[in-house]
Amino acid sequence: MKKMLLSLATCVIMATLVHAQTEKGDWLVGGLFQLNTAKNNTHIGLTPMGGKFVVNNLAVGADINLDYTKSGTDKVTQFGIGPFARYYFLKNKVRPIIQVDVNFLSTKSKGTGYSSTNNGTNYFLGGGLAYFVNDNVSIEGLAGYDHTKYSSFDGSGGFMFTIGFQVYLHATEMAHLKGQ
């Protein structure tokens, strides 16, 4: 009987701790950071994102893509912005997610004897897991198909894996931050 009561109490506590971070009206803010260095080659990427849960478990928002790559004397800078949608499954500490996002890109390339600017579109469709470290923070891994097409080049795509984090702000916390 003690074990059954202890198990029941544990379930109630876990259900309380796993507050629905993904309820309608809640917000998420986070992103991805990339750093890759090698001899004569450096890549730095930052993708902040923010969104609002429009219904339970479905967040929509926007992200900004900032990338810088230097290889030898060639330099490429990229700016992208666009919408995303993300859906969370289950109400566990580890939640499966699916995400789709589209970015409208502007890329500037410079090297010895040339300089060019190209505009294009990038999209990502994939899924992964969000591991909730606590009630307000998750670490996540996403894997899926990533495709980029520039107006003056053939498109290219392939498998992409990312690791990032999110901070979840409950609707009541957001109202407090806004002074309501």
> Tens digits of per-residue pLDDT, 43-86?
999 999 999 999 999 999 999 999 999 999 999 999 999 999 99
pLDDT of 20 reads 55
**Which sequence spans correspond to the domains of the chain?**
2-177
What is the arithmetic mean of pLDDT over 136-161? 92
Minimum mean pLDDT range among 15-19, 110-114, 124-128, 157-161: 15-19
Tell me, yes or no, if the pTM score tops 0.85: no
Give the pLDDT of residue 172.
Answer: 79
CA distance 152 to 168: 40
C-alpha 145/C-alpha 82 separation (Å) is 17
* pLDDT for residue 21 is more than 60: yes
Does residue 175 carry a pLDDT above 50? yes
Which class does domain 2-177 fall in? mainly beta
Q: How confident is the model at residue 15 (pLDDT cuts 50, 70, 90)?
A: very low
Q: Maximum distance among all alpha carbons in the chain?
A: 80
Assign 3-class secondary structure to the chain. Answer: CHHHHHHHHHHHHHHHHCCCCCCCCCEEEEEEEEEEEECCEEEEEEEEEEEEEEECCEEEEEEEEEEEEEECCEEEEEEEEEEEEEEECCCCCEEEEEEEEEEEEEEEEEECCEEEEEEEEEEEEEEEEEEECCCCEEEEEEEEEEEEEECCCCCEEEEEEEEEEEEEECHHHHHHHCCC
Whether 12 shows a pLDDT value over 80: the answer reads no
